[in-house]
Structure 1
Amino acid sequence: MCGYIEVNGKQQSTMAFPKREIVNQFTSRLFKRYYPAFGQDPNKTIDIIIQENGELKQVAATWWFDCLDSYEGLHLGKRTTFNARNLESPYWQYALQYNRAIVLGTGIGESKVVGKTKHQYYMQSDEVFVLGALYRKYSEGRYSCAVITRDAHPKMEPYHHKAFPCFLPIDDPFLKRWLSQSVQQHPEINKVLNFPTLYPTLKVQRVKTYKDKVPYQSFSPVILHSDLLINQSSG
């Protein structure tokens, strides 16, 4: 599950990576935090990057895929769809082929029930990372979306053992392919979806709330190193 995302554009500049033009272009210099649209609130939106008419654009999408359109705006469905997990389901197939999106972040929140207590963990990166998402478009320029999750990653299991956010490679060639509406399937896309990879290095801290990030002193911060570092060292 991925139920909290934040992006701190002031925290880390990505301009040191000229080949990451998409991330550089859309990284806000502001601090933003995003929560799913619990409580049937369509105004709980998250910034997603999509391609329309051959152009990349950033739009605000209700973080709840299952929505109904109306003259008054979007109404949330009863199906819990802030994450897209079972991508083999027909429910997700059209969006997976034609409406892929990305979300930029520098931190995420995960949780795990230990005994009878819910432990919340804030995971922060020193640079902007990219998450895969799916979206729908409605009338009047309205959108809804879900963040893709995959099978649990071994490094993440101590903090959330059921699913793993779908981190994406940050390089432009892959992101252009991922966002292209003319690319329904591609071996590189299938590889990313079928073999979940921790692209960023994350610092994990148990916190009382994601918003305030007050740490538990009994929990020593843990560093989850990027899988890319391990692959490079082993190569």
Structure 2
Amino acid sequence: MCGRLNLNYSNGLEKLYQQLNINFYAAPVINQRFVRATDQVSIVHETVKDGTRQRCAESATWWLLLDKTDTGFKPSKYTSFNTRYDKLNTPRTAGFIPFRESRCIIPATGFGETEFVNKKPIHYYDMTAMEGEAIAFGGLYRTWTHPQTGQTTTSCSVITLPPHDNLKHIHSKAMPLILPQNDNTIDLWLDSSFSNVEVFNDLLTPKLPQSLVAQQIDKPSLYKGISSQQLIHQDTTLSYHL
């Protein structure tokens, strides 16, 4: 998955926030069409306040690993806007502890992919949720506190999976983890007290729980369509053993 998100306001995005029990109009929702890695994104996660678990929305740097500076934090030199599924259960990797302790959802209207051959881009595609829908990306987050200033900063990453057969012609290397929204997956994913991550094994295989609209574009900064839109169909037989 490339480092590009579409966070534009939409009815579908508002509905997703409502499903997550977050007040869309009070949340720090970022209304932006072209969001790059290291930019700010909006995340939803669970926190414990006065002994009670509750969900909250906040802005986070889309780059899981941060380095301390004299006055704050900056993205690490180690690329970490995505976390590969096959690293989640490897101790001492960036995603091992967050996968068990600090999972989040990154609500979005869509995302972009770039296909490379010999390190050169050969095409750019935008993927967008269907009308009235939004995408709940499965992600990880970390909270950082600066030892001198006391500043607190949040960072996050999107979990990536092997490519789905329906998306290989667009991006042949990986796809983002898209969480289903019609069962208890989201509730379990956001449960900060739940650490039995083996339950999530089914999620870490390439699945499309919702259909997407794909279109080839000229380049990400302009996102002018240069092909007809195509419907990428969701999986017709889809089950998660959670």
Give TM class, smaller chain: 0.7 to 0.9
Matches of 2:83 and 2:170 in 1, distance apart? 19
Matches of 1:134 and 1:123 in 2, distance apart? 22
| 1:220 corresponds to 2:228 | yes
Matches of 2:157 and 2:77 in 1, distance apart? 14
Contact 1:7–1:128 (CA<8 Å) still a contact in 2?
no
- Structure 1 residues 30 and 145: CA distance shift in structure 2, 3 A: closer
Contact 1:63–1:146 (CA<8 Å) still a contact in 2?
yes
Match of 2:187, SS state, is helix
Partner of 1:50: 45
Partner of 1:22: 20
Match of 1:134, SS state, is strand
Q: CA RMSD in A?
A: 2.6
Shift of 1:113: 2.4
Partner of 1:196: 206
Q: For residues 119-169 of structure 1, give each alpha carbon's deviation from its aligned partner in whole angstroms, at most 9, with x where no partner exists.
A: 110011121121011111012331111110011111111111111100001
Contact 2:22–2:56 (CA<8 Å) still a contact in 1?
no
Contact 1:198–1:226 (CA<8 Å) still a contact in 2?
yes
Structure 1 unaligned segments of length 5 or more: list them.
Answer: 38-43
Contact 1:49–1:59 (CA<8 Å) still a contact in 2?
yes
| 1:120 corresponds to 2:124 | yes
Moved more, 115-124 or 80-89: 115-124
Matched to 2:107, the amino acid is: L
Partner of 2:36: 35
Q: For residues 6-31 of structure 1, give each alpha carbon's deviation from its aligned partner in whole angstroms, at most 9, with x where no partner exists.
A: 1333353765x99x621774487873
Shift of 1:117: 4.2
Partner of 1:144: 155
Structure 2 unaligned segments of length 5 or more: list them.
Answer: 146-150
Partner of 2:67: 68
- Structure 1 residues 148 and 205: CA distance shift in structure 2, 3 A: same
Contact 2:30–2:41 (CA<8 Å) still a contact in 1?
no
| 1:87 corresponds to 2:91 | no
Matches of 1:76 and 1:209 in 2, distance apart? 25
* 1:152-167 mapped onto 2 (5 Å cutoff): 152-167=163-178
Matched to 2:213, the amino acid is: K
Matched to 1:224, the amino acid is: I
| 1:130 corresponds to 2:127 | no
Contact 2:139–2:158 (CA<8 Å) still a contact in 1?
yes
Partner of 2:220: 210
Calculate the TM-score normalised by the size of structure 1: 0.82
Matches of 1:30 and 1:7 in 2, distance apart? 6
Matches of 1:95 and 1:187 in 2, distance apart? 14
Match of 2:237, SS state, is helix
Q: 2:110 aligns with which of 92, 107, 111?
A: 107
Contact 1:64–1:82 (CA<8 Å) still a contact in 2?
yes
Match of 2:12, SS state, is coil
Contact 2:99–2:197 (CA<8 Å) still a contact in 1?
no
Q: For residues 22-81 of structure 1, give each alpha carbon's deviation from its aligned partner in whole angstroms, at most 9, with x where no partner exists.
A: 1774487873242102xxxxxx21111111111111111111111123451112211111
Matches of 1:172 and 1:231 in 2, distance apart? 15
- Structure 1 residues 87 and 11: CA distance shift in structure 2, 3 A: same
Shift of 1:87: 2.0
- Structure 1 residues 3 and 26: CA distance shift in structure 2, 3 A: same
- Structure 1 residues 209 and 180: CA distance shift in structure 2, 3 A: same
Calculate the TM-score normalised by the size of structure 2: 0.80
